[in-house]
Structure 1
Amino acid sequence: TYNMDVENKSVTSEFFLRGLTDDIELQPLIFGTFLCMYLTTIFGNVLMMLAINCDSHLHTPMYLFLCHLSFNDLYLVSITVPKMLVNIQTQDQRISYAGCLSQGFFVAVCTVFECFLLGVMAYDRYVAICYPLRYTALMNPCFCINLVLISLFISIVNGLLHSLMVLHLSFCTDLEILHFFCEIAQVIKLACSDSLINSILIFVTAAVFAGIPLFGIIFSYIHIVSTVLKMPSSGGKYKAFSTCGSHLSVVSLFYGTGFGVYITSEVIDSSRDIAVASVMYSIVPPMMNPFIYGLRNRDMKEALKKVIGRTVALL
């Protein structure tokens, strides 16, 4: 058995990403759609980062976290979409074993980092609204940077753990991944050795690293709502809620699509349909986040106008 496992591991040099459909006629439409989505995501998130970095009024904890969120979203789509576009254009669906594991690692890192950033942003709003007089002291730059670094460290450790666990699996002849990127959970399904520990690990880490930030978000907003309702003026209530509206929209989009994909995977047997549903949490939130913050936040609108004005002037 040991020799067979070694042989199976040695011949696993590449996987095949089957994408969203095998229909040749639909390939140009899918290519055009995803190219537009990718360019929109890149443009929106780069514009957000430029606006935050160029406007001194936005050098606050909330926008620091938002800047990291934009970078994370930009990186997430850049890991998956370009490879998919190249595969469609060249009609070559191969991806190397190392490339597949690397893609799965970075997707895992970005997904968990997104969860933690959303949780940290909720905590920032909680401190700003519930303890406004202590906000500057509590959310000092050093503390904020440490929050980001700790979140990133945990995300990297999580990604490494899953990737290293995959290295212990052996794969047989069926190396087709019915997805448009190498998701660790989909790779594990192709293993012909026992992958029960891997599956349990994915379930536990997903529950912990998505659940803890979500619990923090719910806890923060329960206290935020309680504090806001005690405010005497309606203007104060509106201002407090308006600072949370964009964040709540982003949280709802990310977790809503994520849970939607999970429920879909439990109800639908088709891996192809699950791959289509995965677009909703892996591409749609990164594309929509800049629009949500850009359209709902007055300070961000002003900063974006300045950046666009400067860009137009240079052209």
Structure 2
Amino acid sequence: MMAAFPMYFFIGNLAFLEIWFTSSTSTKLLVILSSGRRTISVGRCFAQSSFYFALGAVEFSLLVVMSFDRYVALCQPLRYAAIMKHQLCIQLVAAVWVMGFTFLIYRLVLLSQLTFCGLNKIQHFFCDNTPLFQLSCSDVTLLWKTESIFILFIVLSSLCLTLASYTSIFFCILQMPAASARRKAFATCSSHLTTLAIVYGSCIALYAPSSGHASLETNSIVALLNTVLYPFLNPFIYSLRNKAVMLALKEAMARATAQLFP
């Protein structure tokens, strides 16, 4: 149980993060769909945009920490308990959240310098960069460059660190003598790799095009998948490969079936 603490601790933090990440955009979307109220104040729009990007930065960083945890578990199994101590796990997660909220403050200050005029109609279901910057009467050239550099730094730095961890993991797995051990090691990483593919794929689809010239309709669809569908799939990605979770699910389904068809 002690050895499993870091893995479940990080997954628990990822689940907590996904709740906030989804709530940052979907709450307003649900209000729009249920009441038809399509307006949002400038302050709330800035807050929504800032939380969205700050929590996104936290997610990328947390995935790096989780890849390091998988590296230690597979490549340094005898030293895993000694390296991934409770204190280190808490410090890593705390650093990730502090960095994210530092980014939150930075974005709020940056967005507060924008001015708006004319018909302020956002062609999106939340205050994303592209529709928000296009509405501004200010010169957003510098802002676009600053945002692009920051997003690129977060994505590329986290991707490089994750690739470094998984490159080491790959070579460690290849050195395992038994085929069953190799299959088990690959299965251990499959959930995390699936999450990485979805997160980085959606981010590249949304923010890779330069200067925000991507189709707003395409951005809206990808953003909807990223903020609603992906967090919904995450519990299945991580839980359905866990034997204890599967056993509990089967028992719950058996009880429900017995109650419905006594």
1:225 aligns with 2:180: no
CA distance in 1, matches of 2:72, 2:197: 21
- Taking only aligned residues, the RMSD between alpha carbons, in angstroms, comes to 2.4
Aligned with residue 258 of structure 1, among 192, 203, 211 = 203
Say if 1:294 and 1:304, in contact at 8 Å, map to a contact too.
no
1:197 aligns with 2:142: yes
Say if 1:62 and 1:124, in contact at 8 Å, map to a contact too.
yes
CA distance in 2, matches of 1:286, 1:134: 33
> Alpha-carbon deviation of 1:71?
1.0
CA distance in 1, matches of 2:113, 2:243: 51
Structure 2 letter corresponding to 1:249: T
Q: Secondary structure at the match of 1:296?
A: coil
CA distance in 1, matches of 2:244, 2:171: 26
Corresponding residue number in structure 1 for 2:113: 168
TM-score (norm 2): 0.89
CA deviations on 1:250-284 (whole Å, 9 max, x unpaired) are: 11111112212235788975323321221122222
Corresponding residue number in structure 2 for 1:45: none
Change (3 A) 1:203 1:272: same
CA distance in 1, matches of 2:214, 2:192: 34
Corresponding residue number in structure 2 for 1:156: 101
1:94 aligns with 2:47: no
Say if 1:128 and 1:135, in contact at 8 Å, map to a contact too.
yes
Alignment of 1:1-315 (within 5 A): 60-263=5-208, 269-302=214-247
CA distance in 1, matches of 2:219, 2:210: 6
Say if 2:49 and 2:127, in contact at 8 Å, map to a contact too.
yes
Q: Secondary structure at the match of 2:69?
A: helix
Structure 2 stretches lacking a partner, 5+ long: none
Change (3 A) 1:105 1:58: farther
CA distance in 2, matches of 1:207, 1:281: 18
Change (3 A) 1:305 1:143: farther
Say if 1:293 and 1:300, in contact at 8 Å, map to a contact too.
no
CA distance in 2, matches of 1:60, 1:188: 43
Q: Secondary structure at the match of 2:40?
A: strand
CA distance in 1, matches of 2:250, 2:92: 30
Once the two structures are overlaid, the 10-residue window that deviates more, 221-230 or 265-274, is 265-274
Q: State the number of aligned residues.
A: 256
> Alpha-carbon deviation of 1:291?
0.9
CA distance in 2, matches of 1:74, 1:220: 27
Change (3 A) 1:146 1:302: farther
Say if 1:72 and 1:110, in contact at 8 Å, map to a contact too.
yes
Structure 2 letter corresponding to 1:285: Y
Say if 1:177 and 1:187, in contact at 8 Å, map to a contact too.
yes
TM-score (norm 1): 0.75
Structure 2 letter corresponding to 1:237: R
CA deviations on 1:100-149 (whole Å, 9 max, x unpaired) are: 11111211121111111111110000011111111111110110111111
> Alpha-carbon deviation of 1:98?
1.4
CA distance in 1, matches of 2:72, 2:101: 27
CA deviations on 1:155-212 (whole Å, 9 max, x unpaired) are: 1111211121111111111311111111244322221112222212211111111221
Say if 1:162 and 1:184, in contact at 8 Å, map to a contact too.
no
Structure 1 stretches lacking a partner, 5+ long: 1-55
Structure 1 letter corresponding to 2:95: I
> Alpha-carbon deviation of 1:58?
8.6
Once the two structures are overlaid, the 10-residue window that deviates more, 182-191 or 105-114, is 182-191
Q: Secondary structure at the match of 1:238?
A: helix
Change (3 A) 1:59 1:150: same
CA distance in 1, matches of 2:249, 2:63: 22
Counting aligned pairs with the same residue, the percent is 32
